[in-house]
Amino acid sequence: MTDKTVYEYKQSAKLFERALKVIPSGIYGHQGPAEGCFVPVTAFPFFSERAKGAYFWDVDGNRFIDYMCAYGPNVLGYNDDEVDEAAARQREKGDCITTPSRTMVDFAELLVDTVASANWAFFAKNGGDTTTLAIMTARAHTHRKKIVFFKGYYHGVAPWTQKIDYPGILPEDVANSLYVPWNDYEKLAETFAENKGEIAALISQPYWHGNFMDNILPADGFWRKVRKLCTDSGVMLIIDDVRTGFRLDLAGSDHYFGFEADLICFCKAIANGYNVSALCGKDFLKNTVSGLSYTGSYWLSAVPFAAGIASIKKMHRLDLPRLLNEKGEALARGLVETAKRRGFDLHVSGMPALFYLRLADDDVNGSPSLMLHQRWIAEMVKRGIYVTNHHNHFLNYALSEDDIKTTIEIADHAFAAL
Amino acid sequence: MTDKTVYEYKQSAKLFERALKVIPSGIYGHQGPAEGCFVPVTAFPFFSERAKGAYFWDVDGNRFIDYMCAYGPNVLGYNDDEVDEAAARQREKGDCITTPSRTMVDFAELLVDTVASANWAFFAKNGGDTTTLAIMTARAHTHRKKIVFFKGYYHGVAPWTQKIDYPGILPEDVANSLYVPWNDYEKLAETFAENKGEIAALISQPYWHGNFMDNILPADGFWRKVRKLCTDSGVMLIIDDVRTGFRLDLAGSDHYFGFEADLICFCKAIANGYNVSALCGKDFLKNTVSGLSYTGSYWLSAVPFAAGIASIKKMHRLDLPRLLNEKGEALARGLVETAKRRGFDLHVSGMPALFYLRLADDDVNGSPSLMLHQRWIAEMVKRGIYVTNHHNHFLNYALSEDDIKTTIEIADHAFAAL
């Protein structure tokens, strides 16, 4: 395979000019240049025209093998027929109606059957709706204020999740936040001891998947010890499975790592892109959740519930986490070998279904530089492999062996171009 | 027309038994019994099977003329063909994709053209996402902390919007909240003077539409004076148009009342039930919004944008606020006359498109008792008119003259049954 002509983004650029006039930053979130992709923005397409399976096409007609999957929601492939048909059947009947549909009950029952630590489900719209509901539940149940976070966390954009020096955030928003390094059980136990009787919850992702850094799995026995510490201290253990959920284990990522959360937050992969999130939890917290003031305009909508049911049933049938793990391992193996052959040292971290990439050749005194990595990512994207330089990636079922083969071939060209 | 047999809800009750096992409260929000409908819950259907136009059918097959419209989103009629076709065309191409679609830019341009006080639009999912973004923007821009609310407000469920004695809420969450009675300009000016240089924003609905109370329009000149006070004090004026938006004036409810907000929040009627919300605002705040950390998993989804474009274009073409106003006035006139003929004193308050009802015959020393009113509401609902006793109602375009006639006839039977 010869190297292909690199992509151009003329229509994306034109559209972005229009966007800048009527949307703050033009595009918000990770996808926008304001977030600081740390690659020349000219390497990335800004706007998509359509998507199917493992691909999307930008407004210039360029096709990408997409390893971001809409930052998680696309888990079965874009526009999966089975999910879309279930959603369309529900849409014929109705979506956002004054009273909820039977689909809501069906979906809650399916989640309770599927997720090991779930005795109930409460549906909302954003992942952040569920992390906020989880900390409110923990505070209402324990009558305590403090929340422990692992440094480098991401639990949404609500003010309590942000940092004291972020614009629009008050000291009061984060007055009860405690921060501990990931995998540091001693420091965690010390923090619990220093704040005895004051900690409402520990909130954590199932493993460390921060940005701009290699991802880090839990140390041996870490979660078992943390679970015991929380139980002994009367601290609610909240797992934020928004990013990892359904890709490691359909029964929950806590189940994958051998423990049970008190509260677990789902979004993204729960309904293959249909707009729903869910807080699940243990029976002893059900009455507390019932007593909170928490609702939203679209939270009873039936179409996302129908899509969620179809998605979870299909993921079950496929044993999807196993398949995604295999795809991720094959891809990582191929990329690392290709890098090595071209004389580069590519680090792959995190779980295979959500792999994180980093070229380590220009590390400075053991610290990542990321400069070379960013150049490589740019060469990949311009050749039709949508990867990112600062965030973990996501796999989906529609990604084929051929797609993985193509990706590795293009990686070879991208290394050659460096 | 003779009185019809009152409805029974056997299937709703069975389904609710199942719901109670897997969902906190069985149903959350206004629709659930836990919220305290203050009517015998046996009068209400809990679950819907389908919806079309101005009606929904519950799981027992009972049809309702629906005056709640999913608490606002249904503004053109359930499953409006024009909106659904635009959404389906976009869905064929894609919905939740790694990069945004051109539809996002088109929708932002349409909102900026439509809404008088909008120079830009930022899209999210909940109404509460936009009120939270608005206060963060105000705080980041002014470098001040305090927020002024009008008592009886509702701006979503984020902790900063709740009350100090609500479960799960900390004193820190509401430490910077100031409360002023609605329409009380003197008290507002006094509060501004007492907190000079400390108030970031005043957040308000365009008129007072709290629950369990007659709704109250702004006093003559109120908004003009408030607007001037905010400008003179460097306080951002945030209008929460989530409930009222697009039903009073497509250019914004601030425009309807003759002023311009600095920031205005939309949700509900913006896309006829498709899941999207928008914060719009003035140019001088655009850079500040750009600098905030604020995004979500589904916030770039294209289908709700396509639905929003179709909805707003259709509302424009119909001159919808005028039509809803006429329908609301005809309905109110008919209900009040019928009540009077039956010897009852029915109060209708708020704007006709969002009318609030209250039977005043059992007021105690001038204070509403609501007991008689609740009994009347129950008699209405059991006969197929879905109204509520504690909340304003919502009208939609599909509601016909015949539906209004039927509603008034059933109201007559309901009064007779009291």
What was the pLDDT predicted at B34? 47
Q: Note whether A97 and A239 are same-domain residues.
A: yes
Q: Model's pTM, two decimal places?
A: 0.97
The residue written with tokens 């390094």 in the block is A181
Using an 8 Å CB-CB cutoff, list chain B residues near A170.
Answer: 139, 145, 176
d(CA A143, CA A199) in angstroms, rounded, equals 9
B28 touches chain A (CB under 8 A): yes
What was the pLDDT predicted at A41? 75
- The residues pairing with B263 across neighbouring beta strands, listed in sequence order, are B238, B281
Q: Is A76 part of any domain?
A: no
Helix (H) or strand (E) holding A204: strand A199-204
Q: Note whether A123 and A145 are same-domain residues.
A: yes
Using an 8 Å CB-CB cutoff, list chain A residues near B159.
Answer: 132, 136, 160
Using an 8 Å CB-CB cutoff, list chain A residues near B268.
Answer: 297
d(CA B366, CA B347) in angstroms, rounded, equals 13
For strand A356-359 and strand A55-58, is the pairing parallel, antiparallel, or unpaired? unpaired
On whether the CB atoms of residues A278 and B22 are closer than 8 A, the answer is no
What mean pLDDT comes out for the span A31-41? 56
Q: Indicate the angle between helix axes B401-417 and B371-381, nearest 10 degrees.
A: 130
Which residue among B15, B70, B96 sits closest to A73, beta carbon to beta carbon? B96
Using an 8 Å CB-CB cutoff, list chain A residues near B69.
Answer: 98
Three-state DSSP at B308 gives helix
What phi, psi does A199 have (nearest 5°)? Answer: -95, 120
Q: Which of residues 298-337 of A touch B (CB under 8 A)?
A: 298-301, 304
A201 touches chain B (CB under 8 A): no
B234 touches chain A (CB under 8 A): no
- Domain count along chain A: 2
Q: Note whether B180 and B36 are same-domain residues.
A: no
Q: Is B174 part of any domain?
A: yes
Among the candidates B263, B298, B318, a domain finishes at: B318
On whether the CB atoms of residues B200 and B236 are closer than 8 A, the answer is yes
Q: Is B156 part of any domain?
A: yes
pLDDT in tens, A120-150: 999 999 999 999 999 999 999 999 999 999 9
What was the pLDDT predicted at B277? 98
Q: Residues in chain B with pLDDT < 50? A: 34-37
- Report which of residues A253 and A43 the model is more confident about: A253
Q: Note whether B311 and B327 are same-domain residues.
A: no
Using an 8 Å CB-CB cutoff, list chain A residues near B47.
Answer: 99-102, 105
CA distances (Å), origin A228, targets A219, A225, A233, A261, B47? 15, 5, 8, 11, 41
Q: Note whether A291 and A348 are same-domain residues.
A: no
The answer to whether the Cβ–Cβ distance between B136 and A59 falls below 8 Å is no
What was the pLDDT predicted at B369? 82
For strand B48-52 and strand B55-58, is the pairing parallel, antiparallel, or unpaired? antiparallel
Q: Is A5 part of any domain?
A: no
d(CA B297, CA B125) in angstroms, rounded, equals 10
On whether the CB atoms of residues B102 and A59 are closer than 8 A, the answer is yes
What was the pLDDT predicted at B29? 63
Q: Note whether B236 and B351 are same-domain residues.
A: no
Q: Is B111 part of any domain?
A: yes
**Which burial class, exposed, middle or buried, applies to B268 when counting CB atoms under 10 A from its CB (0-12, 13-18, 19+)?**
buried
Q: Is A71 part of any domain?
A: no
Mean pLDDT over the full length of chain A: 95
Q: Which of residues 358-387 of B touch A (CB under 8 A)?
A: 386
The residue written with tokens 């529900």 in the block is A90
Among the candidates A285, A318, A351, a domain finishes at: A318
On whether the CB atoms of residues B178 and B148 are closer than 8 A, the answer is yes
pLDDT in tens, A221-246: 999 999 999 999 999 999 999 999 99
The answer, yes or no, to whether residue A342 has pLDDT greater than 90, is yes
Give the count of beta carbons closer than 10 Å to the beta carbon of residue A17.
11
| Helix, strand, coil percentages, rounded to 5, for chain A | 45, 15, 40
What was the pLDDT predicted at B110? 98
HEC secondary structure over B61-76: CCEEEECCHHHCCCCC
On whether the CB atoms of residues B303 and B130 are closer than 8 A, the answer is no
CB–CB contacts below 8 A, A to B: 330
d(CA A299, CA A96) in angstroms, rounded, equals 8
Among the candidates B269, B294, B318, a domain finishes at: B318
On whether the CB atoms of residues A180 and A313 are closer than 8 A, the answer is no
B94 touches chain A (CB under 8 A): yes
What CATH number does residue B403 fall under? 3.90.1150.10
Q: Is A75 part of any domain?
A: no
What CATH number does residue A239 fall under? 3.40.640.10
Q: Is A93 part of any domain?
A: yes
d(CA A108, CA A270) in angstroms, rounded, equals 12
B29 touches chain A (CB under 8 A): yes
Which one of B35, B96, B145, B395 makes the best mutation probe of the A interface by having the most chain A beta carbons within 10 Å? B96
DSSP B136: H
B60 Cα to chain A: minimum distance (Å): 12
What was the pLDDT predicted at B103? 98
What was the pLDDT predicted at B4? 62
Residue closest to A12 by CA, chosen among B297, B123, B108, B99: B99
Q: Note whether B107 and B254 are same-domain residues.
A: yes
Which domain, by its residues, includes A47? 10-66+320-417
What was the pLDDT predicted at B286? 97
Q: Note whether A287 and A378 are same-domain residues.
A: no
The answer, yes or no, to whether residue A368 has pLDDT greater than 90, is no
d(CA A223, CA B312) in angstroms, rounded, equals 51
Beta strands in A221-309 (DSSP E): 236-240, 263-266, 277-281
Q: Note whether B117 and B266 are same-domain residues.
A: yes
The answer to whether the Cβ–Cβ distance between A275 and B275 falls below 8 Å is yes
Task: Collect all residues with Cβ–Cβ distance below 8 Å to A267 and sequence separation of at least 6.
Answer: A72, A126, A127, A130, A242, A245, A276, A277, A278, B297
On whether the CB atoms of residues A178 and A199 are closer than 8 A, the answer is yes
The answer to whether the Cβ–Cβ distance between B96 and A294 falls below 8 Å is no
The answer to whether the Cβ–Cβ distance between B294 and A34 falls below 8 Å is no
Q: Note whether A282 and A327 are same-domain residues.
A: no
Q: Note whether A284 and A300 are same-domain residues.
A: yes
Q: Note whether B273 and B223 are same-domain residues.
A: yes
Residue closest to B49 by CA, chosen among B58, B40, B37: B58
